Amino acid sequence: MNPDRSLTGKVAIITGAGPGVGRSCAMALAADGADLALAARRVEPLEALAAEVAEATGRRVLAVPTDIAHHDSAAALADTAAAELGRVDAVVNVATAGGARAAVADIDWGDYRYSFELNVIGTLEVSRRAAEHMKAVGGGSIVQIGTLSTHSVPEKMAIYTSTKSALQTASLVMARELGPHNIRVNIVTPGYITGGNLDRLWSNIAEQTNKTAQQVSDRAASAAALNRHVDPEDIAEAVLFLASERSRGLTGQEIRVDAGQVIG
């Protein structure tokens, strides 16, 4: 067994490489030794992040503008990473589409189709194309980012919850199918992640409940066993564990990084 279970000499793909979890995952994996292919739709922020990670870590970092909601774009990502960086050892799928908040009776099916194309088909296309390159190097790791809404099934979030549930189920099937090739497939499910999106959520709820955003945030945090929210870096640490050989015995698992919002 190789005593070095770091990502030194490995290549990882990260979709949805933007602020928050995407950026933190990029920094964590590169700091652990991986060269990266970063993918996102917007070219300028993507290239800026790639330059930032490369400067901070000294790793090779490739910016690959990609919209995984489009099949051809998703399919080309792993091939580009392998051609430019020499191999593919890990893929981390952060990219997601939340979809509009609506009761099932009011869902716009066009919105639903877009979310399904990105959250399920696009993510699985990236995963399966990356897996073909992982087979060539003797194995690898696929890490999907899940959502707590698949456990809490909140109202008016059927689009997001059902498409992410479909991804989760398909990923568990992939874990069985790819296991004989030494390719592991796991899911990291975050809780409330600190940052701009969460701040906006608390502000919106505060406006509807006659409370302050801080009061709303504190109440949500008090429901977690650790009485706090999680940071993007917390998610990245779990992703790093699953992407590397540190987790060589784990596949088909969901790891919830939620400060204890859901236990059991």
Closest alpha carbon to 134 in 168, 173, 172, 182:
182
Q: Taking 90 as the threshold, does the pLDDT of residue 3 lie above it?
A: no
Q: Do 204 and 106 share a domain, yes or no?
A: no
Q: Do 82 and 158 share a domain, yes or no?
A: yes
Strands lying side by side in the sheet with 140-145? 61-65, 35-40, 11-15, 90-93, 140-145, 183-190, 254-257
Q: Do 70 and 161 share a domain, yes or no?
A: yes
* Confidence label for 264 from pLDDT (cuts 50, 70 and 90): confident
DSSP string, 185-237: EEEEEE-SBPSHHHHHHHHHHHHHHTS-HHHHHHHHHHTSTTSS-B-HHHHHH
Q: Given this model, what pLDDT does residue 104 score? A: 95
pLDDT in tens, 149-202: 999 898 999 999 999 999 999 999 999 999 999 999 999 999 999 999 899 989
pLDDT in tens, 42-78: 999 999 999 999 999 999 999 999 999 999 999 999 9
Q: Do 85 and 180 share a domain, yes or no?
A: yes
The pTM of this model reads 0.95
pLDDT in tens, 232-258: 999 999 999 999 999 999 999 999 999
pLDDT in tens, 91-121: 999 999 988 889 999 999 999 999 999 999 9
Is residue 262 situated within a structural domain? Answer: no
Q: Do 175 and 99 share a domain, yes or no?
A: yes
Range of the domain at 136: 11-193+231-257
Q: Do 102 and 168 share a domain, yes or no?
A: yes
State how many domains the chain has.
Answer: 2
Q: What values do phi and psi take at 216, rounded to 5? A: -65, -45
